[in-house]
Amino acid sequence: MPERLPIRPEPRRFRWPLVVILAGSLLILFWFKLQGLLLLLPILAIAFLVLGKRPDSTETNALRSSIALSAEDISDVLAEYDRFASATDADTLADRTLLRPALVDLDCDDEAIEAFHHQYATSRRFLRRLEARLAHPGLEVGQLESLLHVTDQRAMDIKEAWLTARHAAKRLGTNY
């Protein structure tokens, strides 16, 4: 995955409703003169409020929640590896030393284990950057959707890499 997030600001949309409102306003003003002006003031105020309104906050909240859930999936895999690498309970210690010692060896040449360690490091960086990115309140819906897609993809990649690395480490055993 590329280091930079593929999130670009959405291009400014053509505001055709604004053009229609202005044309209609000029027509009403030309036709009704002073009464049209009194009629147009509340109509234009409401129209500009509606046009300037941000996207539905429930949609952005739902997208932010989905991103948080995907980030939590990534964090769960990272925590599972951290627990595997440093826990002192008997089962984990036996698993780490007798069944899968290659999984904690950063110099292991197995392709699957190297791929997992790479995914582990990039996922940590990604989560730090994700928090900073989500702290920005002005993200558009399209940007949040793109961020959700990237986060979902990273979550699937790290889960798959973790399972593949575990199987590879078990296959290698203690003689790698």
pLDDT of residue 142: 87
- pLDDT > 50? residue 2: no
Pick from 170, 165, 157: nearest CA to 74 = 157
pLDDT of residue 55: 60
Q: What average pLDDT does this structure show over 99-112?
A: 93
- pLDDT tens, 45-61? 888 787 766 566 788 88
Pick from 126, 111, 123, 134: nearest CA to 80 = 123
pTM above 0.95, yes or no: no
User: What is the four-CA torsion angle of 61, 122, 81, 70, rounded to 10 degrees?
Assistant: 20
Helix (H, G, I), strand (E, B) or coil at 15: coil
> Is 149:5 a contact under the CB 8 Å cutoff?
no
SS (H, E, C) 42-86: HHHHHHHHHHHCCCCHHHHHHHHHHHHHHHHHHHHHHHHHHHHHH
- pLDDT > 50? residue 80: yes
Confidence of residue 119 (pLDDT cuts 50, 70, 90): very high
CA distances, 176 to each of 61, 97, 99, 114, 150 (Å):
48, 13, 11, 14, 34
Q: What average pLDDT does this structure show over 12-26?
A: 76
Pick from 118, 126, 117: nearest CA to 67 = 126
